[in-house]
């Protein structure tokens, strides 16, 4: 007799109080095998395989004071099911959602609809949310904004909807360009946003001077682009940088200081650090 060894999955919906309890619950989920934990308002959502380990984990979660609701998913083909894990992200005045959840952001001051490329680019990641939070007070009417490492185009689209007259979204990955262009069209900002494929080090000087730089990229690339960003901005101009681990913060700031930058503000979410730096 053949036995079906395909794993069966369960979605966990968890109500956990803000603060230390919620942080502890997230840690328990990650240690219990959750690949990702999504925040949907006051609720946490994740997916785990059925089994005794899951039962023990749920018992432990309940003992923290959290309330756990399980939904059996059965066997799941995650190559297509991933779309159900993408939710609405609200960051200040901006609400980001996939197109099939457009009704859920109809009440937002600035709705941004993003067709994600394999669940990335709709504000699910802490680094994207960090830039979205910090940029809202920096985009001035009529500004020219450069988005380096644009990905799905979410930051460029948000900048246009915040009032930028022109946004140049620069992305090196050819597989991301089509997705970004579709998202720009979907949000009705094609007149303001230009998507360019290529190396930011080569393209940013061609569109300079700019009013604001957005750079959600890894720290080594931030360091590499730092002098180029500096030259692209006027004195007092700002860049919002993210994609930086908290553990990399001090090393990065030392390098940026040498290049003529000063830290203006920052925020941390989990292990990720985002900041606004000012050209001196």
- For the domain made up of 125-279, give the CATH fold: Rossmann fold (3.40.50)
Residue 212 · residue 238 · CB < 8 Å = yes
Give the per-residue pLDDT at 24: 87
**DSSP letter assigned to residue 112:** E
CATH architecture of the region 9-84:
2-Layer Sandwich (3.30)
Give the per-residue pLDDT at 94: 96
Give the per-residue pLDDT at 45: 83
Give the per-residue pLDDT at 117: 63
Residue 127 has pLDDT above 80, yes or no: yes
Residue with tokens 């190559």: 79
| Mean residue pLDDT across the chain | 88
Give the per-residue pLDDT at 259: 97
pLDDT band for position 61 (cuts 50, 70, 90) = very high
Listed by start position, the domains of the chain span: 9-84, 125-279
Residue 118 has pLDDT above 70, yes or no: no
Residue 79 has pLDDT above 80, yes or no: no
Residue 122 has pLDDT above 70, yes or no: no
Give the per-residue pLDDT at 32: 86
For the stretch 205-246, pLDDT in tens is 999 999 999 999 989 899 999 999 999 999 999 999 998 989
Task: Calculate mean pLDDT across residues 58-68.
Answer: 92
pTM for this structure? 0.71
Neighbours of 84 (CB within 10 A): 16
Give the per-residue pLDDT at 40: 65
Residue 169 has pLDDT above 90, yes or no: yes
- Any long-range contacts for 157-160 (C-beta under 8 Å, 24+ apart)? 157/112, 157/114, 157/183, 157/184, 157/187, 157/189, 157/193, 158/94, 158/96, 158/110, 158/112, 158/132, 159/135, 159/212, 159/214, 160/187, 160/189, 160/192, 160/193
Give the per-residue pLDDT at 77: 56
Give the per-residue pLDDT at 126: 86
């Amino acid at each position: 007799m053949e036995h079906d060894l395909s794993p069966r999955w369960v979605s966990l919906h968890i109500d956990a109080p803000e603060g230390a309890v919620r942080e502890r619950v997230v840690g328990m989920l990650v240690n219990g095998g959750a690949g990702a934990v999504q925040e949907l308002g006051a609720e946490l959502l994740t997916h785990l395989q059925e089994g005794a380990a899951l039962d023990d984990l749920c018992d432990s979660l309940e003992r923290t004071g959290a309330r756990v609701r399980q939904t059996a998913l059965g066997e799941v083909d995650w190559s297509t099911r991933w779309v159900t894990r993408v939710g609405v992200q609200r960051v200040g005045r901006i609400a980001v959602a996939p197109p099939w959840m457009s009704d859920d952001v109809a009440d937002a001051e600035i709705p941004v609809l993003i067709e994600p490329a394999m669940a990335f680019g709709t504000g699910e990641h802490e680094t994207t949310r960090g830039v979205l939070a910090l940029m809202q007070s920096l985009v001035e009417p009529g500004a020219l904004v450069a988005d380096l490492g644009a990905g799905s185009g979410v930051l460029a689209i948000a900048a246009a909807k915040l009032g930028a007259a022109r946004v140049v979204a620069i992305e090196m990955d050819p597989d991301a360009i089509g997705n970004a262009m579709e998202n720009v069209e979907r949000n009705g900002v094609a007149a303001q946003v230009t998507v360019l494929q290529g190396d930011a080090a080569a393209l940013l000087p061609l569109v300079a001077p700019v009013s604001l730089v957005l750079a959600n990229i890894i720290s080594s690339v931030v360091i590499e682009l730092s002098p180029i960003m500096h030259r692209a901005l006027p004195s007092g101009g700002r860049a919002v940088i993210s994609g930086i681990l908290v553990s990399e913060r001090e090393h990065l700031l030392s390098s940026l200081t040498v290049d003529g930058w000063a830290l203006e503000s920052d925020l941390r979410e989990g292990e990720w650090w985002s900041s606004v730096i000012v050209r001196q």
